[in-house]
Structure 1
Amino acid sequence: MWYEDFQQTYQMKYCGHHAPNGTETYSHESEVLVHFHSDHSFAGKGFVMEYWLGCGSVFSLTDSAQILTSPNFPEFYENNQRCNWMVVAKTGRAIKLHIDILQLEDSANCTKDYLQIYNGPENDSPLLGHYCGSTLSGEPLTSTSNILRVLFVSDELVNAGGFQLTVEEMKLDCSSDSLVLVDDDSVGELYSPGYPHIYRHSMDCLWTIQSPSGTRIQFDFDPDSFDIEQAPISSEVGCIYDYVEILDGATIAANSLGRFCGNRVPETIQSSSNYMTVRFLSDESAAKGGFKATYRIARCGGTVVGRQGVITSPNYPHHYEHLKECEWYVRVPEGGYVNFTFADLNFGGVGRRNASECTADFIEIRESNKTGPLIGRYCSGADKNKHGRTKSNLMYIMFKSDASLNGRGFKLLYNYTSYECGGHLNQPNGQLMTPHYPDFLSGSLFCEWIIEVPLSRRVTLTFEDFSLPAGLMHFCFNAHVTLYSDPEAMNPIVDAAMCGADYELPMSFRSTGNVMVVRIETETASDARGFRATYHSDEPAGNLMLSQTKK
């Protein structure tokens, strides 16, 4: 069975040798059609089906509270009753149910006459309550979706006055949608709806956080309170069911700083302005414990995500405090690297320190993380307008001040630059090389060149320089080059991928036809140079020939 526009539709088919255990249907009309069909081949024993005069219905809620009662209430209900009600609220809302009156036959474990409330429409939906006798629970029951199932069963013996329930729709509470920070010491807390209990289904909550003009916002998830439904581990689709997303601005259209699910706690997140938007979305299936987070005016440090941005020292352009240590992790999209420029750099106290050593106040920039290769350490006013770049899409920044003099600090601009590599080469001869050659080999890189020459010619590719990270036991791990003789990259020119630098150069390869595909893939940045190669189409197409010699 399924539901469409709050009406239950029955189109059930059964076959085989296994009875559909526990399957119950009920009709809103006085007639039900049962259709049995057999073909001309095999025959079986058939089936036995029970049916009875039932009670219950689909109970669609309106904006006001409604009453649901047992049959004949307030008179005694009849024996041998089995009633199903589907209480349905509008999509995106929940249901609150309160038991006003309860007068049922009492029994141990409520096995005779009983009332059951299920958190959902199915027989195996979570059971919210199982009742008999006349003892009332004071607290109302609340669903996590827009459907509750109410089941009432009476046996063939004692009967009683029955029950009365009050049911009403609930707007799923996302709490305040506007959160304001007023000073440096204020800290706000944000929870998923219902925390510390599991969050509800079908929620879509938006919170906008605002701090004073000229400040930024720091957002931290509690490491002990982060559990959001995610796709199976084997899936590559990421956070598509339930998720919390941080947006770098005042609207849902702002740049995303990250979409998170599962139970791996995200790092500290910072906005690039005085606005941040948090969105929490849950679907209609599984629900988890949710999240707890804090937000405050960013003092220093954090994770900065986006194609471009600005990072400043604390209190900039006013003087920073003494004995500060701040760390930023910058992440731009994969397939590119980080360009940075110091728009301002002033650490005060001209001449009081050795600018070449930067032992007092300084800013340090590294590849990827705090243990990555050093890009530079900066402390002099002469470093203003200095440019730099990373090898990969990750950059680490540390700012440190001592107990002596201070200044207005720094203002650093960064932006994302994509690797320029690959393409369709259709000239009779040409040259290709890896990005940044010969400076370094970039990380998270995939480049593909398709070389296509006239039909009667073939491609001769010659590597004039070839320097990639070495493999291990004839296997290439962090970087490799592969060559193919067809545009679909199905027919390799050499059996194994190439890596390392242990080749006799120049090294030449020839295609069998007029097409050659050259691919390079890297996972991490390295000091290897990459490659430089030339190609020509002087030879006619023919049998495959290659020259690959190890030193």
Structure 2
Amino acid sequence: SPGKGTSHPPLCPPGIKCGGVLSAPSGNFSSPNFPGLYPYETECTWLIVVAEGSSVLLSFSHFELEYHDACAYDYLQVYNGAARDQGNLLGTFCGHSPPPPFSSAWHVMAVVFRSDRHVAKHGFAAAYRKDACGGQLTGLSGEITSPRYPESYPNDAECRWSIGGASSGGPLTLVFADFQMEGGQGCGFDYVALFDGPTVTAPRLGRYCGSTRPPRTISSTPHLLIVFKSDFNIGGRGFKAHFYSAGECQEVFSTIKGNFSSPQYPNFYPNNLKCQWSIQLPPGYRIKVFFLDMELEGQSSLTGGCDYDHLSAFDGGTENGSLLGRWCGRESLAPITSRSNRLLLVLHTDRNTAKRGFSISYVGGK
């Protein structure tokens, strides 16, 4: 009877606030009807947008959704960027264990809540705030910028970004797309320092300043700490860097035959990647590559070219070698053969629209 607490929640009645764009520097949001039972058959998307150059810090104070071991019934999803892009998915959650605090890898974060037609719980309450500087980043890939980038960074700033905990557990690669800071002997004024682990006690991978972009850096552990510091005067544009988990993304093959696939294949590959597969056989061999499956983001409607996500093949083992092909979209490709004993395949993905990726096999012959 209704007196025993068995009353059913309504289908989402008109007027219930559900989802929306949150653009204040901080705020709170919760599932419909919270702290009452959420309605059946409801889907809500919250898009959190803060100032560019900042990240979003998201935390949950209450969390109670219907449990399923694959979260197939009622669930909450957190995206690093706009929703519905599987390459940006940070996690899917249900049951009684609240998601961990999240720090987005850029200034947009999306939260999607969905309920099915059975079993309602009390839902969730969440808070977010703009995290101007630093944070704990857990995605497979992301972007980091100095405060206020591309405007001049503030004086007397200190930021720490701790990257780690991605499910792949592989090493991390950091690539700087832009870098312009105050210079100086020994980088004693403004600098970026990189550490091979979660804290400053880990081995230091480098300390950089001035206007020369730091080299591509690969950690030896699944954690990387980036420290940015500015002194009391003279600034610069700062920096913009991309990181990605390199576990399935930087491989060298020296066996006569083998196969490999894009990260997470046949699930969607992460965004913001640059992955390299290098095949190096003894002199006198040539390499034949077979494309078993390929589905990448399609061509640009403006240029007709593969401007977004693309796979390229180079003869000779470096990107300076002759280009054997550059592909995107969904294609059935004929095999290609190298002219030398070395071949390099490079996958670039941009910051949105992920697809299934590719599966490739190769064989060497004389």
Into which bin does the TM-score normalised by the smaller protein fall? Answer: 0.5 to 0.7
1:221 paired residue among 37, 56, 59 = 59
2:105–2:143 CA contact under 8 A, matched in 1: no
Structure 1's 210 and 276: CA in aligned 2 closer, same or farther, altered over 3 A? same
1:299 paired residue among 126, 129, 132 = 132
Q: What are the superposed Cα offsets for residues 245-281 of structure 1, whole Å, 9 maximum, x if unpaired? A: 1123334235212223433441232153x54321012
Q: Provide the TM-score with structure 1 as the length reference.
A: 0.40
The 5 Å alignment of 1:30-179 reads 116-117=1-2, 126-127=4-5, 143-144=8-9, 170-171=13-14, 173=16, 175-179=17-21
Structure 1's 286 and 335: CA in aligned 2 closer, same or farther, altered over 3 A? same
Are 1:415 and 2:244 counterparts?
yes
The secondary structure found in structure 2 opposite 1:190 is strand
Alpha-carbon distance in structure 2 between the residues aligned to 1:380 and 1:422: 32
1:339 paired residue among 173, 198, 203 = 173
Are 1:245 and 2:43 counterparts?
no
The 5 Å alignment of 1:267-278 reads 267-272=101-106, 274-278=107-111
Alpha-carbon distance in structure 2 between the residues aligned to 1:423 and 1:285: 50
Say which structure, 1 or 2, has more relative contact order (CA 8 Å, 6+ apart): 2
2:208–2:214 CA contact under 8 A, matched in 1: no
Q: Which amino acid aligns with 1:387?
A: R
Following superposition, the deviation at residue 219 of structure 1 comes to 3.6
1:189 paired residue among 28, 37, 49 = 28
Q: Which amino acid aligns with 1:127?
A: G
Alignment RMSD: 3.6
Are 1:290 and 2:129 counterparts?
no
The secondary structure found in structure 2 opposite 1:406 is coil
Structure 1's 172 and 417: CA in aligned 2 closer, same or farther, altered over 3 A? farther
Following superposition, the deviation at residue 424 of structure 1 comes to 12
2:192–2:209 CA contact under 8 A, matched in 1: no
2:83–2:112 CA contact under 8 A, matched in 1: no
Q: Provide the TM-score with structure 2 as the length reference.
A: 0.57
The secondary structure found in structure 2 opposite 1:209 is strand
Are 1:328 and 2:328 counterparts?
no
Following superposition, the deviation at residue 377 of structure 1 comes to 4.1
Q: What are the superposed Cα offsets for residues 79-127 of structure 1, whole Å, 9 maximum, x if unpaired? A: xxxxxxxxxxxxxxxxxxxxxxxxxxxxxxxxxxxxx427xxxxxxx53
Alpha-carbon distance in structure 2 between the residues aligned to 1:340 and 1:281: 35
Q: Which amino acid aligns with 2:63?
A: F
Are 1:208 and 2:56 counterparts?
no
2:196–2:205 CA contact under 8 A, matched in 1: no
Alpha-carbon distance in structure 2 between the residues aligned to 1:241 and 1:402: 52
Alpha-carbon distance in structure 2 between the residues aligned to 1:410 and 1:424: 37
Larger radius of gyration: 1
1:263 paired residue among 97, 103, 108 = 97
1:333–1:393 CA contact under 8 A, matched in 2: no
Alpha-carbon distance in structure 1 between the residues aligned to 2:231 and 2:38: 46
Alpha-carbon distance in structure 2 between the residues aligned to 1:283 and 1:294: 24
Following superposition, the deviation at residue 312 of structure 1 comes to 0.7
Alpha-carbon distance in structure 2 between the residues aligned to 1:176 and 1:402: 45
2:192 paired residue among 351, 363, 371 = 363
Structure 1's 391 and 219: CA in aligned 2 closer, same or farther, altered over 3 A? same
Q: Which amino acid aligns with 2:85?
A: A
The secondary structure found in structure 2 opposite 1:381 is coil
2:136–2:161 CA contact under 8 A, matched in 1: yes
The secondary structure found in structure 2 opposite 1:354 is helix
Alpha-carbon distance in structure 1 between the residues aligned to 2:121 and 2:227: 36
Q: What are the superposed Cα offsets for residues 468-525 of structure 1, whole Å, 9 maximum, x if unpaired? A: xxxxxxxxxxxxxxxxxxxxxxxxxxxxxxxxxxxxxxxxxxxxxxxxxxxxxxxxxx
Q: Which amino acid aligns with 1:279?
A: V
Q: What are the superposed Cα offsets for residues 393-438 of structure 1, whole Å, 9 maximum, x if unpaired? A: 43232323343443322222223333467999789xxxxxxxxxxx
Q: What are the superposed Cα offsets for residues 135-158 of structure 1, whole Å, 9 maximum, x if unpaired? A: xxxxxxx73266xxxxxxxxxxxx
**Number of the residue aligned with 2:320:** none
Alpha-carbon distance in structure 2 between the residues aligned to 1:194 and 1:299: 32
Q: Which amino acid aligns with 2:20?
A: S
Alpha-carbon distance in structure 2 between the residues aligned to 1:405 and 1:372: 28
Q: Which amino acid aligns with 1:327?
A: R
Structure 1's 393 and 282: CA in aligned 2 closer, same or farther, altered over 3 A? farther
Alpha-carbon distance in structure 2 between the residues aligned to 1:423 and 1:404: 49
Alpha-carbon distance in structure 2 between the residues aligned to 1:288 and 1:328: 35
2:37–2:120 CA contact under 8 A, matched in 1: yes
Structure 1's 335 and 415: CA in aligned 2 closer, same or farther, altered over 3 A? same
Alpha-carbon distance in structure 2 between the residues aligned to 1:171 and 1:423: 59
The secondary structure found in structure 1 opposite 2:171 is strand
Alpha-carbon distance in structure 2 between the residues aligned to 1:286 and 1:265: 20
Q: Which amino acid aligns with 1:117?
A: P
Alpha-carbon distance in structure 2 between the residues aligned to 1:389 and 1:145: 52
Following superposition, the deviation at residue 218 of structure 1 comes to 0.4
Structure 1's 197 and 400: CA in aligned 2 closer, same or farther, altered over 3 A? farther
- Structure 1's unaligned 5+ residue stretches are 1-115, 119-125, 129-141, 147-168, 232-236, 428-551
Alignment identity in percent? 26
Structure 1's 364 and 422: CA in aligned 2 closer, same or farther, altered over 3 A? closer
Alpha-carbon distance in structure 1 between the residues aligned to 2:253 and 2:224: 28
1:199–1:290 CA contact under 8 A, matched in 2: yes
Are 1:354 and 2:197 counterparts?
no
Alpha-carbon distance in structure 1 between the residues aligned to 2:63 and 2:160: 23
